[in-house]
Structure 1
Amino acid sequence: MGNRLSKIYTRTGDDGSTGLGDGSRVPKDSARVAAYGTVDELNSTIGMVLACEGVPPDVREALTQVQHELFDLGGELCIPGMAMVQDADIARLESVLDGFNEPLPPLKEFILPGGGMAAACGHLARTVCRRAEREVIALAREEAVRPQAQRYLNRLSDLLFVICRVLARAGGHGEVIWQHERRPRG
C-alpha cells in the first residue's frame, strides 16, 4: 500500500466544504459530515478508554474490534451508497454484550456515570455513541442510509453501558446508584 496521506493539508476545505469518499464535495456542516464526524469522535473516546490502566483483556479485545468497525462505519457514511457494516457485525455486538452482561447483577436503579477513570471514559463514549446514532437518524431523513448503521450504533451504546459496569467493578470502584429520593420534593 502506498502513502495514503502524503500531504496533510490541501487547502481545499478553506471554503467550508469537504470531500466525500466518492469525490463529491459537501458543506462541512452537512448532516453526512456531522454523522461520520461524530462516529470518528466516538472512536477517539473509545481510544481514551483503551488508554486507561486496568482495562481487562476481554474488554480491550472487544473495544479494539469496535474501533475497527467504527472506522468501517465512518467509511460507509463518508461514501454514499457504500455498505461496510453488516448484520453479522450487529449480531457479534449482541453476543459480546450478552457475555459481559450475564455475570452482572440486575440493575434496579439508574447509575451515575463514573466508577473510575476507565468507566468514566466509557460513559463518555456511550453518550457520544448516542449522539452519533441521532446524527445518523438525522442524515437518514435527508439521504439514503442503510439501517445497519443505526442498528449498529444502538447496540454499541448498550454494549458500552455494560462495559462501563464491568470496568467499574474491575477497577474496584463499583457503581454509584442515583438517589432519586435524596431530597424532599416540593
Structure 2
Amino acid sequence: MGNRLSKIYTRTGDAGETGLADGRRVPKDHPRVEAMGEVDTLNSQLGLLLAEVAEALGHHPGLAEVGEVLAPCQHRLFDLGGELAMPDYLALDAGEIARLESAIDRWNAELGPLRDFILPGGSRLIAQAHVCRSLARTAERRCQQLNAVEPLRPELLAYLNRLSDLLFVAARLIGRRQGCAEVLWQAATAD
C-alpha cells in the first residue's frame, strides 16, 4: 500500500469547509462530518480501552478475550468512517454485526441477568468501557441525524447500536473478571 498522506496540512479547510471523497465541499458542522467526528472519537477512546486492557492482562489474564473481541472493532470503526467519507465505499457487512451479537450472547451467559441499574465505575477499565459505550450511542445518534437527510446503509446504524450493547456487556464482564462489584444505582430518597 502506498503513502496515503503526503502532506498533513492543506489549508483547504481554513474557511470552515472540508472536502469529502466524492468531491463535495461541505461545512465542517455538516451532519456527515459530525458523524465522522463522533466515530473517530469513539475509535480513539476504544484505543485507550484496549491499551488499558493490555496493561491489565498481567493481573487479570481473563481480560484477554475482551481485547480479542474489541480489537477488530477499531478496524471496523475505521471502515465505517470510510463509508461516511466515501458514500460509494462499502466495507461493513452483516457478518460483523453477527460477530458482535455472538460475543454479547456468550458474555451475557456468563454474567447472568442484570437485576438493577448500574453506574459506570468500580475500576478504571469498567469506567472506560462505559465511556466507549456512551460514545457509541453518540455516534449512533449523529449517524441517525445524517440518515434523516442522506440515507445510510442499515448495517452502519445496526453496527453502532450493537457495538454500544457489546461495550455495556464488556464493562460488566471486565468487572466480573477483575473481581469488582457492580456499582448499583441508588435512587434519591425524600428527606
8 Å CA contact 1:123, 1:161 repeated in 2: yes
Per the TM alignment, residue 128 of structure 1 is displaced from its structure 2 partner at its CA by 0.4
8 Å CA contact 1:83, 1:146 repeated in 2: no
Q: Output the CA distance in 2 between the equivalents of 1:130 and 1:17.
A: 26
**What TM-score do the two structures reach when normalised by structure 1?**
0.94
Q: Output the CA distance in 2 between the equivalents of 1:2 and 1:69.
A: 21
Q: Output the CA distance in 1 between the equivalents of 2:173 and 2:48.
A: 16
Q: Which runs of 5+ in 2 are unaligned?
A: 58-62
Amino acid corresponding to residue 183 of structure 1 in structure 2: T
Amino acid corresponding to residue 78 of structure 1 in structure 2: A
1:150 aligned onto 2:157: yes
Q: Among 77, 87, 92, which residue is 2:94 paired with?
A: 87
Q: Output the CA distance in 2 between the equivalents of 1:8 and 1:68.
A: 22
Match of 1:139 in 2: 146
Match of 1:115 in 2: 122
Matched residue of 2:110: which SS? coil
Q: Output the CA distance in 2 between the equivalents of 1:36 and 1:120.
A: 24
Amino acid corresponding to residue 103 of structure 1 in structure 2: E
Deviations 1:83-123 (A, max 9, x none): 21111111111011111111103111100001211111110
Match of 1:69 in 2: 76
Match of 2:178 in 1: 171
Per the TM alignment, residue 140 of structure 1 is displaced from its structure 2 partner at its CA by 0.6
Match of 1:4 in 2: 4
Q: CA RMSD in A?
A: 1.3
Match of 2:34 in 1: 34
Answer with 130-139 or 99-108: which moved more: 99-108
Count of aligned residue pairs for this structure pair: 184
Match of 2:43 in 1: 43
8 Å CA contact 1:21, 1:75 repeated in 2: no
Per the TM alignment, residue 41 of structure 1 is displaced from its structure 2 partner at its CA by 0.6
Match of 1:183 in 2: 189
Per the TM alignment, residue 60 of structure 1 is displaced from its structure 2 partner at its CA by 0.5
Higher helix share: 2
8 Å CA contact 1:18, 1:26 repeated in 2: yes
Amino acid corresponding to residue 94 of structure 1 in structure 2: E
Amino acid corresponding to residue 54 of structure 1 in structure 2: A
8 Å CA contact 1:133, 1:154 repeated in 2: yes
Deviations 1:113-150 (A, max 9, x none): 01211111110000000000000110011012111111
**What TM-score do the two structures reach when normalised by structure 2?**
0.92
Deviations 1:56-94 (A, max 9, x none): 111111111111110100101111232211111111110
Percentage of matched positions with identical amino acids: 53
